[in-house]
């Protein structure tokens, strides 16, 4: 019986909703998706029925609620150990966790200046601080690929780390940001079945 329900906002605008959804797809979990309409007067009243933080995403497994995307990642990794959530290699798994933590808490200038909107395409000049965020993201991507030897995704197979950076890929495409030497990775993410779905 399927007890997993993911409460999310609109995956086009809500980067964290997109990440949570991608993680469940990665786990190959059988889950129900419930969308809470963003930017409405009833949003907070509705989301508080399902998420104690008042934020999306929130994963329910029966009576259990997990309301943070990093926590959802760890829960799914434990519940679906044979999935591609994390690499099997201990060192690569540690790198994935480090990068996910930095993505979770950082890059605020880039995130605030370039709101996620997958359907939009327009050129945007960003501030120096946002440019520094993008530069750091590219450093992370370079490090991961060099350490893992992967020529496609960051640490081998498409995994949680790629799900966490997928909304950044979306922003790079939407706002025509400098792709530096990362066009191949950006194309891999944007052409992935789950991303397109």
The burial class, CB within 10 Å (0-12 / 13-18 / 19+), for 56 is: buried
Q: Can you give the pLDDT at residue 158? A: 97
Token look-up 């964290």 returns 16
Start-to-end CA distance of the chain, whole Å, equals: 25
Range 24-31 average pLDDT: 96
What are φ and ψ of residue 7, in 5° steps? -95, 120
Question: pLDDT at position 100, please?
Answer: 98
What's the pTM value of the predicted model, to 2 decimals?
0.94
pLDDT, average across residues 99-114: 97
What average pLDDT does range 34-55 have in this prediction?
A: 88
What confidence category does residue 1 fall into, taking pLDDT thresholds of 50, 70 and 90? very low
Q: Tokens 């999306």, residue?
A: 56
pLDDT at 39: 80
Triad 19, 23, 28: Cα angle to 5° = 150
What domains lie within the chain, and their CATH numbers?
4-79 (3.40.30.10), 90-196 (1.20.1050)
Specify the pLDDT at position 2. 65
Rounded to the nearest 5 percent, the helix, strand and coil shares of the chain are: 50, 10, 40
Return mean pLDDT, the chain: 94
List Cβ neighbours of 29 (8 Å cut-off, separation of 6 or more).
4, 76, 79, 80
Instruction: Please tell me the predicted confidence (pLDDT) of residue 45.
Output: 87
pLDDT in tens, 170-185: 999 999 999 988 999 9
């Amino acid at each position: 019986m399927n007890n997993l329900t993911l409460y999310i906002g609109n995956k086009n605008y809500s980067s964290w909703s997109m990440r949570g959804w991608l993680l469940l797809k990665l786990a190959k979990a059988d889950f129900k998706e419930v969308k809470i309409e963003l930017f409405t007067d009833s949003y907070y009243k509705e989301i508080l029925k399902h998420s104690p933080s008042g934020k999306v995403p929130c994963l329910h497994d029966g009576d259990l609620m997990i309301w943070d995307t990093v926590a959802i990642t760890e829960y799914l990794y434990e519940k679906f150990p044979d999935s591609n959530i994390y690499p099997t290699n201990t060192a690569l798994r540690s790198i994935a966790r480090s990068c996910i933590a930095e993505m979770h808490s950082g890059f605020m200038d880039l995130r605030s200046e370039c709101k996620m909107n997958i359907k939009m395409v327009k050129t945007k000049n960003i501030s120096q601080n946002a440019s520094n965020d993008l530069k750091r993201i590219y450093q992370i991507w370079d490090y991961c690929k060099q350490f893992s030897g992967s020529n496609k995704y960051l640490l081998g197979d498409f995994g949680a780390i790629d799900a966490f950076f997928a909304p950044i890929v979306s922003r790079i495409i939407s706002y025509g940001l400098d792709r530096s030497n990362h066009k191949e990775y950006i194309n891999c993410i944007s052409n992935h079945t789950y991303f397109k779905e």
